[in-house]
Chains A and B, each alone.
Chain A
Amino acid sequence: MALSEWVRESRKYILGTIILVLVLAFIPFIIGFDQYLLLILSTAAIFAVFVVAWNIIGGYAGQLDLGAFAYIALGGIVAAQLLVVYNITPWIGMFVGAGVSAVLAAAIGYPTFRFGIKEVWYALLTAALVVILNNIFHLPEVLGSLDHYLPPANGWYYLKFPVYENIYWFILAMLAIVVFINLWVSKSKVGYYLRAIREDELAAEALGIDVRKYKLEALVLYAAILGFMGYVYIVIAGTYSYHTFDSPHSIAIAIMGIIGGLGSIAGALTSAITLKVVEEYLRASIGATIPGIHLLIYGLLLIIIGIFKPDGLAGIYESLKKRRTSGRKKISGGGNP
């Protein structure tokens, strides 16, 4: 699709996203640059980026990817190692990281889709991928057991600051870009095909859609975004090691994606931000009373949302909307962007 056409098609969403991001960008001034709140916002925002990116493979293409941190950690570690060993700025390193993650995704994705692995088998493969990379990077020949540190220096060259507002704004800018990518995918032929594949893969294939190609494109795009953002995650985590290949975090991203509602950008954004903030709120407020109580409540929340709203957060809204509009005898059409 031509760029100008895309801009015309999704002008409303683009405008909306820009306004949303500008509003979010203004928050630091309201909260007086409180570093704790800024860190929560940054963490929530970076997870929002991950979840919105996940939406491409999980939401549009309908592949249950549980391997987000395989790509995040790989891309991040590549960029970090380039900085630590060769003093190459992450502004270059992040692109290299994105490239490496994309290549890995292509190498894994090609045979996986070629041999028709999908559904739970695909989910297990991607979950296993995180463990495999964790083990491989743990070998003494790769990263070994040690924690690795970024250089102590700060500044834009290192994309690393003693305070969080700069990184927060950077993540927000990335968030806007990733939302645009999503919008573009959703509006383009690719998105149309992907949705067709998600609904009924056999039928899509019968219509002559190259199922493998579009799934692979979605996977590579998703991996590249995650790989790019990996360095930023490492900046927030402070150190990197084989632990960065984190299985529970990977599943958490998929869960945020599904809680948001498959294929809904707004849902993905809302669920990433609310779940992350809720998790942190519970940890900070009650985590020290009975250890684990916050995770227990978080687990109950997941169960309750899952049981009562199997369509995710987007579904909660839809049902509310339906109730309201049916009262007014007016049905509004249109799905989620």
Chain B
Amino acid sequence: MTRKFRKALSKAATVSIIVIIIIAVAAGIAYYYYQSAAPAPTATTTTSTISSPSPTQTTTSTAATKPKISVIKIGLIEPLTGSHAVFGQEAKEAAELAVDVINNELGGIKSLGGAKLQLIVQDSGESPDNARLAAEKLISQYHPNIVIGAYISRLTAAVAEVTERSHTILFMDGLVDDLTQHGWKYVFRAAPKASAHGKSAVDFIIDMAKKKGIKVKTAIVLNEDSVFGTYVGNGATLELVKNGIKVLDHITYPYDISDVSSIINKIKSEKPDVVISVPYFHDAVLIAKAIKSQGIHLMFIAGAGGCGYTDPDSIKAAGDAVLYYTQTYSFNPFRPTKWDQKLVSMFKEKYGKIPTEAGGIILYTMFTIYAGLEKAGQMYPNDPLNPDNLRNVFLSLDLTDNNSIAGQLYPTGHIKFLPNGDNEYAGTAILQVQRINGTLQPVLVWPEPQPGVQPVFPRPDWTPSG
């Protein structure tokens, strides 16, 4: 070989050595951290408030005469970094809690000889090429039986291409409508679609107005301009038009906006009765504060789309600026069922806040998987984890409050999958920020208000103008 080419090669070698040393150090630190941190979640649950049979059952049941399955691998791909990290992190927390409950409190999958779930988490970052790498890493290194991910639609799409190829069941926690319309065979989605969120926000207003004898004539739809916000905003617009409410304006904006005054000024000058707002998270704080600052008194401001105005973190950040705002959720943290209350309080105990959108979806998705695996052990004792068998199992599930934990966690109390993977009985819940005993709290107001709570509609500061 020529000298220069050798030179190029040995340059590569030098560089590689340097890089390998750095990686080795980094990996060592990380491995140390991982080792010391990994057992923590299983250890902490023993201290949970719910009295439960001793969770320290480590050996799997030996009753199995069927193929011996000791571990079922569940992959979780979520955006843990980047501008969507706020969702991915809560999803990860919820998944860890659910796996812990299933393994320790429920004794694993009984029909599979008490097999345990093993959760493998990967960060998808915020670009689809990284999400795809995360998916390939999971599929080829860990061979998970089921994958959950990835909240943001373009990340979910990248993951789905990988799981479809390897015939792995993918439970999607991305809500964008079209995710179930690409002919993917192994995908399921228990959560309601994005457009359903927009529709519910409008239905809630119409329902309330009817009860209070108020006529809603005009509305503005305000949505952040990602694909999710667009679907929710369009769902709301359609429902408004269908109900004869005039849509004065449809404003879109990027969720990383740093100043919303031009939007608020516009709302002020157009004087709508109600605003349907589809915020992201950061922008919700800005909008609520700006509306309060400007002293705009509308009949109602309804949030749609899973996060923004009534999350505990938004209330902490925006204070009474978000008082009486509502928000639609794919999860109802106040459903008066045993398991809903139990898991919400466990989550609160462990992470210091109630689970909302991202965490809630993962909770019922996990327990849907739990129910499916239990059934798979009965339906296909010889090959329960075959993806086609699993698919049949999930399609045959009919989960309700009475027969399942997942049903108790779901806003409508009913999960039954359609052939395209969507839930036939999908629905949302609406929370409102109210002042209870002097503190601002989210409470359930729709479809059925939680005991002792009345929805506040219209906003008390609204002054009907002629």
Contacts and interface: CB of A to CB of B under 8 A. Distances in A.
A166 to B, nearest CB: 14
Contact of B183 (A16, A152, A271, A291): A152
Contact of B33 (A152, A283, A289): A289
B140 interface: yes
Contact of B15 (A34, A39, A243, A270): A270
Given A12-B4, A270-B15, A36 B139 contact: yes
B308 interface: no
A237 B19 contact: no
Nearest to B234: A145
Contacts of A241: 154, 227
Contacts of A144: 230
Contacts of A283: 122-123, 125, 130, 133-134
Interface in B127-164: 127-130, 132-134, 136-137, 139-141, 153-154, 157-158, 161
A290 B132 CA distance: 20
A202 B132 CA distance: 47
Given A13-B4, A237-B158, A274 B81 contact: no
Nearest to A47: B129
Interface residues on B, range: 35 or more
B139 A238 contact: no
B30 A286 contact: yes
Contacts of B5: 12-13, 15-16
A290 B154 contact: no
B123 to A, nearest CB: 4
A30 interface: no
A311 B354 CA distance: 51
Nearest to B11: A317
Contacts of A337: 4, 8
Contacts, number: 167
Interface residues on A, range: 35 or more
Interface stretch (A53-61, A118-126, A294-302): A294-302
Contact of A280 (B133, B157, B252): B133
A36 B128 contact: no
A317 B88 CA distance: 41
Nearest to B159: A238
B153 A147 contact: yes
Contacts of B88: 291
Interface of A: 12-13, 15-16, 34-37, 39-40, 43, 138, 144-147, 149, 152, 162-163, 233, 236-239, 241, 243, 246, 249, 265-267, 269-271, 274, 278, 280-295, 297, 301, 313-314, 316-317, 320-321, 332, 334, 337
5 contacts: A39-B133, A241-B154, A270-B11, A283-B123, A284-B137
Interface of B: 1-5, 7-8, 10-12, 14-16, 18-19, 22-23, 26-27, 30-31, 33-34, 37, 80-81, 85, 88-89, 92, 121-123, 125, 127-130, 132-134, 136-137, 139-141, 153-154, 157-158, 161, 165, 176, 178, 182-183, 225-227, 229-230, 252
